[in-house]
Amino acid sequence: MPQTPLLFTPGPLMTSERVKTAMLRDWGPRDPDFAALEASIRARLVDLAGGTGSHVAVPMSGSGNLAVEAMVGSFVPREGKLLILINGVYGRRAIAMCDYAGRAYATFEMPFDTAPDPIEIDTRLAADPGISHVLLVDCETTTGILNPLHAIAGVVAARGRGLLVDSMCGFGALPIDVRTSPVDALAASPTKCLESVPGLCFVIVRESALRKCQGNAPAVNLDLYDQWRSLEQDGCWRFTAPTHVVAALGAALDELEVEGGIAGRMRRYARTSRSIIDGFRAMGFETVLDSERQAPMIVSFRAPCARRFDLDRFHAGLLREGVLISPGKLDDVPSFRVACMGQVGEAEVRYLLAAVQQTITAMGIERCAKR
Ligand SMILES: *Cc1c(COP(=O)(O)O)cnc(C)c1O
């Protein structure tokens, strides 16, 4: 039994000793060492996206949604319009962000197991010249579906519009290269595939596009342009920097490098998700998505139709065994989610699978029958 629950959750997640230890130092405001650390972290984030020379990283305090909201509010001008691509709850959340910011939007919504079709996006952009930007979630954490960033980026660029990406669940593990997949802005967080602690978020932006964003933001705290100007001027955040969290991210980036960068991390997640999917299937569970659409960062499973199976009891039973998974987010399909990100290895996966078997056995279920 682990001392604290093993986290198979999409952030916060299990972090390494090195990441936790990095937070032991107190940094004062305007400490030149901190400014240097900050600058190197920003450069490394841009490099991971292939944006060195064209893009800059703008960190902000807050959880990942703040980065998405700051991106939408800072990039879509008052007279602009956002086309929101939706196949899960994270895409849908951008509607509220536009409403609060007073930005016009159109939605292109599809079923949770269907990826947006680039040809259909092209048609919609051609039909509505008022659309200035498109928002894509590259991996929808609702199901773990992989959306075709590269193809969509090509279509949006060819129509002369700006692409905004919520890459929260992808950044750090999904290959991304803004040189070949043109992106105006990409919002991400250290608490997913970068495997660091919560407290900050960041947006990787095309500098030439950001320069046109002065005065766009609907709130002082969401102003990416202003934060960028402050960082460029003296290396300081506008407001109190989450120093410990920044230091933790630095350590997390060191570890990513040791693991072989994005490709290395992706290989580990692919192994982890394979073991998890195989193990759950052997107990009779079914994934929500077909394998070819499934990204390895998070897997959504259907609640089995066995009469004795109860989702609340399932979550509670697992927690008693010392394992935390994530509730499902689908309206019509009772489900749960297992994240493969974070410092979880083969031993933790074996523990998880044994805990699941234990929990369903305690419910009186032999094996979850196929529907
Ligand atoms: C995690 C996540 C977010 C941000 O969530 P926070 O709880 O604000 O950190 C946004 N979009 C996607 C796709 C995510 O997976």
Query: For each of the chain's 371 residues, which pLDDT tens digit applies?
Result: 899 999 999 999 999 999 999 999 999 988 999 999 999 999 999 999 999 999 999 999 999 999 999 999 999 999 999 999 999 999 999 999 999 999 999 999 999 999 999 999 999 999 999 999 999 999 999 999 999 999 999 999 999 999 999 999 999 999 999 999 999 999 999 999 999 999 999 999 999 999 999 999 999 999 999 999 999 998 889 999 999 999 999 999 999 999 999 999 999 999 999 999 999 999 999 999 998 999 999 999 999 988 899 999 999 999 999 999 999 999 999 999 999 999 999 999 999 999 999 999 999 997 776 55
- Residue whose Cα lies nearest atom 6 of ligand 1: it is 64
Which ligand 1 atom minimizes the distance to the CA of 68? 10
Looking at residue 305, what is its pLDDT? 84
Contacts 24+ apart (CB under 8 A), 37-40: 37/246, 37/247, 37/250, 38/231, 38/235, 38/241, 38/246, 39/235, 40/250
Looking at residue 369, what is its pLDDT? 62
Residue among 114, 111, 156 at smallest CA distance from 132: 156
Looking at residue 119, what is its pLDDT? 98
- Residue whose Cα lies nearest atom 12 of ligand 1: it is 168
Euclidean distance between CA atoms 236 and 224, whole angstroms: 14
Which ligand 1 atom minimizes the distance to the CA of 140? 13
Q: How far is the CA of 371 from the centre of ligand 1 (A)?
A: 32
Looking at residue 106, what is its pLDDT? 98
Which ligand 1 atom minimizes the distance to the CA of 62? 8
| pTM for this model (two decimals) | 0.97
Cα separations in angstroms, 333 against 287, 327, 370: 11, 12, 15
Pocket-testing residue among 7, 84, 95, 141, ligand 1, by greatest number of atoms within 8 A of Cβ? 141
The residues, any chain, with a CB within 8 Å of residue 79's CB and separated by 6 or more, are none
- Residue whose Cα lies nearest atom 4 of ligand 1: it is 64
Q: How far is the CA of 168 from the centre of ligand 1 (A)?
A: 6
Burial of residue 36 (CB within 10 Å: 0-12, 13-18, 19+) is exposed
Looking up tokens 């399932």 gives 314
- Residue whose Cα lies nearest atom 9 of ligand 1: it is 64
Looking at residue 54, what is its pLDDT? 98
Q: How far is the CA of 140 from the centre of ligand 1 (A)?
A: 9
Looking at residue 27, what is its pLDDT? 95
Looking at residue 367, what is its pLDDT? 73
Cβ atoms of 83 and 135 within 8 Å: the answer is: yes
Measured from CB, residues less than 6 Å from any atom of ligand 1 are 10-11, 63-65, 68, 90, 137, 141, 166, 168-169, 189
